[in-house]
Structure 1
């Protein structure tokens, strides 16, 4: 039931003139796969799903599945603060052939832990493919507690969790309550190796948009027992990771991809271009890490 181990990229959605730029999306997919990415997560937070219409969301995922053509798993965001909408989107994405779902906690209206159990159970009961819980309280205002995970992990269609609370004590507590069959994925790029040490099997990564090969290699090194090398890689990429979150995601990573010549620097409001100071920082860190050649640094 495990969807993947290794590094999955939370892929950006490129835009051009206000529409999804499918040719650029195809190029990003090919580049990711050629650089060893282990899974593609389409239309999640980094993919600006909250500003896509349902039709755009489904078509973007369908296009991604067709381009990937089974080479790696394709997982789609399907979360909502409306359980009925989350069920409808999850079923629609299942129908287009996605391998699994990444379902963020309800946001804005929030809910209790009991509400989370009922919300996720209602979705899982209506699908036939694996679902990954997504806990990112800094963004949604709702945390999935370890005790709630211990209940939800018993559902046959709930396969794992993307844990982005930033709280390693919570990760340890979750790891204590779940079986080896339940997948723990890091949702914080800078804590990937730490989470792997608690039994995690991978990361769903924003920074993998720009360094897929290195993200894959870091996780593979750890899982293959090369712990020192994985730790070294984690430390080496820390400054670059920090730059990818200097402003709210996905503002910095789309700016980085634009500097790399891979996409247009286009967002959907309320996302907008980074300030000049942030852009200079992003460019400096891309150059320092070797993603951009030295002469590109301003």
Structure 2
């Protein structure tokens, strides 16, 4: 039966076993990849965007016709552009010029007003640091104040993690036939990890959770930040605390460098036919690390966060 709108096809994405990659590396265990790059906006952030806006409408914090503003690396902005457009809310996406140009063009095509913020002096083009993100946040706050807008606030709004608790977790559990022993996720806002691990533990309290960060920017693990300008877009912002991690435990921290994320994303495409982005490469690289170590023989779930199509202008596919 046909859906009434694209809102109704957010979530419910398929999952696939990455058995070829695991076998080729002589590892014991399985990796379940949740293909969230098959959402309408080509990323997992569609779920959070829908969760935030629907919850804000329900509790009255978002008024009819009010403008919605949010900072984004591109994926949340794309999700919000779709959700806000279909629900009748003007949307302004505020993004660093350090993110790939495909993202800005896609948001604009979906009806968003896109405000691009210059990177700070000394920043590396194509690599968004925590300081760059702070500048984007400053601009977003100015726009919210000037327009009397609603701030979607993906780093704090409960609708983000709730969407993953209510949809991503039960889907992964069902797709794995209840066999998942661990979940690993590259940390951006922390909403995917926080919501998904809580939802999986509601099914089985023994499921272990691992946070993935860029090498040299593992602030959540308590390490010194030496490389804030890593190439893995969409996360690793060197934030030592994230709201969505406060009420869930972390069983371990993993780091992946840019080269490993890149080569794993490339291998994922060639070996499994999964065309994911940088953070998808980071997640799968982390899952392979786990099968070679503490999760040997287990079943590690990861999310394929977004599409490789969003990185054609970057060095991901060089």
TM-score > 0.5, shorter chain as reference: no
Higher helix share goes to which structure?
Answer: 1
Which one has more relative contact order, counting CA pairs under 8 Å at least 6 apart? 2
TM-score (norm 1): 0.30
